[in-house]
Structure 1
Amino acid sequence: MAKLDRVMLLIHALSESNEGMTLDEMAAYLGVNRRTAERMRDIVALHFDLDERQDERHKRFIIRDSLRRVYTRPVAAEVAALQAEVLAHQGAGRDVRAAPLAALLAKVRGALDDREKRRMDPDLDALTRAQQMIAAPGPRAPVPLGLLEVMQGAIMAGQCVEFDYAAHPRAEPKWRRVIPYGLVHGPLSYLIGKLPDREPTYFRLDRIIDARISDRPGCAPEDWDISAWLSTSFGVWREDPYDIRLRILPEGVDRARGWRFHATQSVEELPDGGLCIRFRAGGLRELTDHLFSWAGELVIEEPAALITMMRERAALAAGMVAP
């Protein structure tokens, strides 16, 4: 019998035993000597919770949990990663994202028994102290926690959603009934909704008032792909797509090789050691703002509309510097 087969037999025997097994019983069960049984026990102990119990004369060993539990039990690094996400969303004011993750974290920790918690707590405490998400600058737009539940409920029920919506902070809210196509989360959270005879568009969740599930059915077509829809824009601004061509200068190549400008981009090596980045997308305003961080490493070659917009934005940026 191969060594792996013996170890697997021992794992099942230790998990199915009510009393546990001594080393001599393990050796007899596997048909090996005591020393080999000790080595196999040590291998099992590396991967499973192996309890040691002392009866009147012998030490007995048993795997206390079901084998399934061994493979579904979270480890400290996984819990710490989830906790870091919760804290990052809370710190950025994105409670609409933090709340469901915090609820999941509480359920994960609540499923641990006392022994698992005691074993995990030192590692979890160390990782929590040593890990933190970077707090990037950005908008803070609180969203009522119940609003996300309304939107998700409408999507799951295949119903339209109704609400009052202010397109701008000073605009008068107007009633809308839309088919909910999806939800997008980032610095801000959006509903992708479709009005009659119009293309799907974004609605900022923080500007939605008095949302409720409609009694009118409505859902996205079966073949509608949210990822494909998002890829037609750079960011969230919706406009007709442009063919974008960017030339990365040799001094920016190392950075560009580890950077993704767009999900559909293609990369071409240039004779001078630079790169040519091509993709098709709308959202020139957001793209222009992003490309400011590439000054000195990149040249915009197409389209003309993007070149014009960058010149206008650069002229405005010059006015931000005190004389």
Structure 2
Amino acid sequence: MAKLDRLLALVHALSEATDGLTLDEMAERLGVNRRTAERMRDIISHHFDLDEVVDDRRKRFLIRDSLRRVYTRPTPAEVAALQAEVDGRTLAGQNARAEQLASLLAKVKGALDDREKRRLDPDLDALARLQRTMVVAGPIATVAPETVATIQRAILCGQCVEFHYATDKRPEPRWRRVIPYGLVHGPLTYLLGKMPGREDQPVYFRLDRMSGAMVSDTIGCAPDDWDIDAWLADSFAVWRDEKQDVVLLVPRSSADRARHWRFHGQQQIEDLGDGGLRVRFTTGGMRELAEHLFTWGGELVIEGPDVLVAVMRERIAAATMMLPTGDMRPILSQDTAKGAS
């Protein structure tokens, strides 16, 4: 390990020398020749900001920042990834999340000194110009940033949240007080809340349907053993109904795609002798699962449960209502129908 020991010793020497070191001084400290010292300097320059100072026609080298700073300084790729996330959230209308991430981005950039900014800017401009977070079709729901901040403050304080809440079926807002069990972000942002003093399960509340959110005087926080990930895994998406044992049969022609697809976080895949697969998992949310399986039309078969088959039939019937009136053409061509059978 002598080579590594000398290299680390040179890193520390370059960071501690206020005036820097020449190649000859590096070689003398390490007991190596000038050419070896030059190679070691080149290696160090790949990982540290190595400054070069000309002193009486001699070049001196030093690492200006503390060694800790080298490992905490963000890279252009990291800053560009955060910038892309801010832009994507903004375009999707998720302003509350976008503002928090934008604030973080500003703090990251603000922590850089002028020299670091000059080093970072060229690469950051190139990466930020050609990176985007895709905004897919979905609901447009504006959430007030203060609503998110209020819920987060309630979580930190161990207090309930109070707000007025409206739904599609009941547009007149009604007052609610709930224990915050978590925030769930996605195309829509939800508060997982549970009524204090009840044994009911937590339910979802859409933040865009809240108004007048405030931290309550009533104490309320999730139990220490509450596992939000396990709770979310009980349902395919937002809709929660009785959990079902789902079994999907994937033919050989679609097996490769299915191997690289996540139907559920706790799925189990069984290899069949004919090259096909059988995918099993337990979850609720049969309607949302059925709607997702539309993207697999003709590429898998629902073996169970019966309730999922029934829901799929309902969704197929509803989908036919989108066709023009009087369109009597078969839904599947004969070749497609044979493949599906």
Deviation at 1:153, TM superposition (A): 0.4
Say which SS state the counterpart of residue 100 (structure 1) adopts: helix
Q: What is the alpha-carbon distance in structure 1 between the residues aligned to residue 311 and residue 38 of structure 2?
A: 73
Deviations 1:10-61 (A, max 9, x none): 1101101111111111111111111111111111111111111112242211
Q: Please show how residues 63-74 of structure 1 align to structure 2 within 5 Å.
A: 63-74=63-74
| Contact preservation (8 Å) 1:253, 1:275 | yes
Q: Please show how residues 136-155 of structure 1 align to structure 2 within 5 Å.
A: 136-155=136-155
Say which SS state the counterpart of residue 84 (structure 2) adopts: helix
Q: Please show how residues 1-323 of structure 1 align to structure 2 within 5 Å.
A: 2-168=2-168, 170-195=170-195, 196-197=197-198, 198-322=200-324, 323=327
Aligned-pair identity in percent equals 62
Q: Which moved more, 1:264-273 or 1:100-109?
A: 264-273
Q: What is the alpha-carbon distance in structure 2 between the residues aligned to residue 54 and residue 313 of structure 1?
A: 75
Residue 272 of structure 1 aligns with an amino acid whose one-letter code is D
Residue 108 of structure 2 aligns with an amino acid whose one-letter code is V
Residue 119 of structure 1 aligns with an amino acid whose one-letter code is R
Q: What is the alpha-carbon distance in structure 1 between the residues aligned to residue 57 and residue 94 of structure 2?
A: 60
Q: What is the alpha-carbon distance in structure 1 between the residues aligned to residue 18 and residue 171 of structure 2?
A: 70
Deviations 1:54-84 (A, max 9, x none): 1224221110111111111111111111111
TM-score (norm 2): 0.92
How many residues are paired up? 323
TM-score (norm 1): 0.97
Say which SS state the counterpart of residue 15 (structure 1) adopts: helix
Q: What is the alpha-carbon distance in structure 1 between the residues aligned to residue 30 and residue 273 of structure 2?
A: 66
Moved over 6 A (4+): none
Please, which runs of 5 or more residues in structure 2 have no aligned partner?
A: 328-341
Q: What is the alpha-carbon distance in structure 1 between the residues aligned to residue 273 and residue 29 of structure 2?
A: 69
Please, which runs of 5 or more residues in structure 1 have no aligned partner?
A: none
Output the aligned Cα RMSD.
Answer: 1.2
Q: What is the alpha-carbon distance in structure 2 between the residues aligned to residue 225 and residue 166 of structure 1?
A: 28
| Contact preservation (8 Å) 1:201, 1:238 | no
Say which SS state the counterpart of residue 10 (structure 1) adopts: helix
| Contact preservation (8 Å) 1:163, 1:210 | yes
Q: What is the alpha-carbon distance in structure 1 between the residues aligned to residue 159 and residue 233 of structure 2?
A: 26
